[in-house]
Amino acid sequence: MPLQNNISLKKFNSFGIESIARDFCVFNSIDELIEIIDQYRDLIISSHLILGGGSNILLTQALLDTLVLKNEIKGIQLKREDANYFYIEAAAGENWHHFVVTCIKNGWAGVENLSLIPGTVGAAPIQNIGAYGVEVKDIIESVEAYHIADQTIHRFTNADCAFDYRDSIFKKNQKNQFVITNVLFRLSKYPIYKTNYGAIETELTKMGIKELSIQSISEAVIKIRSSKLPDPQIIGNAGSFFKNPSISKAHFEQLIKKYPSINGYPNKDGSIKIAAGWLIEKVGWKGYREGDAGCHSLQALVLINYGAASGSEILALSDKIILSILQEFDIQLEREVNIL
Give the active site residues. Answer: 166, 240, 336
Judged by DSSP in three states, 281 sits in: helix
Q: CA-based angle 110:267:333, to the nearest 5?
A: 100
| Cα Rg, the chain, nearest whole Å | 20
Please report the DSSP string for 231-271 in residue order.
-TTTSEEEEE-BPPPEE-HHHHHHHHHH-TT--EEE-TTS-
Torsion angles phi and psi, residue 116, rounded to 5: 65, 15
Cβ neighbours around 178 below 10 Å, total: 22
CA-CA-CA-CA dihedral for 162, 163, 167, 168, to nearest 10:
40
Judged by DSSP in three states, 82 sits in: coil
Going by their DSSP bridges, the two strands 140-147 and 130-131 should be labelled as unpaired
**Cα–Cα distance for residue pair 131/34, rounded to 1 Å:** 34
What distance lies between CA 174 and its chain's CA centroid?
Answer: 18
Judged by DSSP in three states, 66 sits in: strand
b/e for 5-42, b at 16 or more Cβ within 10 A?
A: eebebeebbbbbbbbbbebbbbbebbeebeebbeebee
